[in-house]
């Protein structure tokens, strides 16, 4: 990696915008286009929101945001030590949500996959979840 | 995010400025529902011209208000959404059930007349 950052913050919804700003600020060194930076912000927002409302079910905890880049790509990881995901393929299906009563749309993973080049989920029930995302910038 | 409300006949116009995420969507949902209760609006217009960011939380709020307004015989429309917001709406197929207009006037005309242009 040429450069990286790691931040931990409380699983509070106020921190969703903070996480987007940290990622956007960190990757601005790469001179991304506005569209590319919005892609990353949107994906970070989805993953961090999931950690807060699904991983910790709104009860709080520590959310980790890792951002890095090398000459090829940028990398984002979002992790929680929350309830974990039992059935990952099902969780990633468009429109699937375990919280319809919260007016969740079930489109979070689909949006991450649309705006990033790759999305990988590692999760264990009762242990937590880590989302790995990668994106290639157009100038390279 | 800031929200302001304006009523034009039986249409509630919701003007949103700033970012719509899970955090701000809770505020947007609660305030919009309170307005719908209080002022007896029938139709709903979301003015998105000054929305600078939206993630899937926005989809949830819009769909939720759509169901509510529709169950009372009203219509809902979106005006002036930027390219980014439109993309999120398209991915979730919201554009298939909620008409989106490039101007507030066109959206109001649809809500008043019930016609698509
Ligand atoms: N960090 C997480 N911890 C536990 N469950 C998760 C996590 N992220 C996602 N999920 C599960 O995957 C489902 C789908 O997520 P997503 O596509 O973002 O939709 P939504 O957030 O609207 O429910 C969630 O409803 C939840 O059940
Ligand atoms: Mg989600």
Q: Residues with Cβ < 8 Å from B85, sequence gap 6 or more? A: B48, B51, B54, B58
Chain segment B86-110, per-residue pLDDT in tens: 999 999 999 999 999 999 999 999 9
Q: Flag if B53 and A20 touch (Cβ within 8 Å).
A: yes
Residue of B26, B55, B59 lying closest to A45 (CB–CB): B55
The CATH number given to A3-136 is: 3.30.565.10
Q: Is the ipTM of this complex over 0.85?
A: yes
CA distance A6 to A44: 13
Protein residues with CB under 6 Å of any ligand 1 atom: A 46, 50-51, 54-55, 80, 82-85, 91, 96-99, 104-109, 129; B 56
How many structural domains does chain B have? 1
Domain residues for the domain of B12 are 2-111
B10 in a domain, yes or no? Answer: yes
Q: Where does the pLDDT of residue B114 fall: very low under 50, low under 70, confident under 90, or very high at 90 and above?
A: low
Tell me the average pLDDT of chain A.
97
pLDDT band at A33 (very low <50, low <70, confident <90, very high): very high
Q: How far is A6 from chain B (nearest CA, A)?
A: 22
pLDDT tier at B113, thresholds 50, 70, 90:
confident
A52-55 contact pairs (CB < 8 A, 24+): A52/A11, A52/A12, A52/A13, A52/A15, A52/A16, A52/B22, A53/A13, A53/A99, A53/A102, A53/A104, A53/B22, A54/A82, A54/A83, A54/A98, A54/A99, A55/A11, A55/A80, A55/A81, A55/A82, A55/A83, A55/A84, A55/A128, A55/A129
| Residue B67 belongs to some domain of the structure | yes
Instruction: Answer yes or no: is pLDDT of A140 > 80.
Output: no
> Burial of B70 by CB count in 10 Å (0-12 exposed, 13-18 middle, 19+ buried)?
middle
Please enumerate, as own/partner, the contacts of A33-37 that have beta carbons within 8 Å and a separation of 24 or more. Answer: A33/A138, A36/A135, A36/A137, A36/A138
Whether residue B117 lies inside any domain: the answer is no
Question: Residue B77 sits in a domain of what CATH number?
Answer: 3.30.750.24
Q: What is the pLDDT of residue B116?
A: 56
Task: Tell me which of A57, A64, A104, A134 is the catalytic residue.
Answer: A104
């Amino acid at each position: 990696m040429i450069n990286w950052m790691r931040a931990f913050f409380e699983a509070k919804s106020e921190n969703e915008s903070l996480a987007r700003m940290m990622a956007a600020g960190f990757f601005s060194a790469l001179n991304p286009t506005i569209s590319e930076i919005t892609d990353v912000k949107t994906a970070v927002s989805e993953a961090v929101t999931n950690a807060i409302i699904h991983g910790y079910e709104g009860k709080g905890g520590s959310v980790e945001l890792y951002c890095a880049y090398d000459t090829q790509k940028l990398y984002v990881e979002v992790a929680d030590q929350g309830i974990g995901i039992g059935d990952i393929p099902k969780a990633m299906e468009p429109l699937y949500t375990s919280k319809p009563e919260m007016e969740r749309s079930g489109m979070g993973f689909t949006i991450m996959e649309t705006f990033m080049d790759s999305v990988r989920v590692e999760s264990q029930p009762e242990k937590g979840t880590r989302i790995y995302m990668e994106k290639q910038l157009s100038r390279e | 995010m800031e929200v302001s409300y304006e009523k034009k006949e039986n249409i509630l116009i919701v003007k949103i400025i700033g970012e719509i995420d899970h955090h701000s969507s809770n505020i947007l949902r609660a305030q919009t529902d309170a307005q719908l209760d209080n002022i007896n609006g029938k139709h709903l217009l979301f003015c998105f011209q000054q929305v600078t960011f939206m993630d899937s939380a926005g989809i949830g709020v819009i769909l939720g208000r759509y169901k509510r307004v529709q169950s009372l015989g009203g219509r809902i429309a979106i005006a002036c959404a930027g390219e980014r917001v439109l993309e999120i709406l398209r991915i979730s197929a919201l554009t298939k059930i909620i008409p989106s207009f490039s101007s507030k006037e066109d959206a109001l005309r649809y809500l008043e007349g019930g016609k698509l242009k």
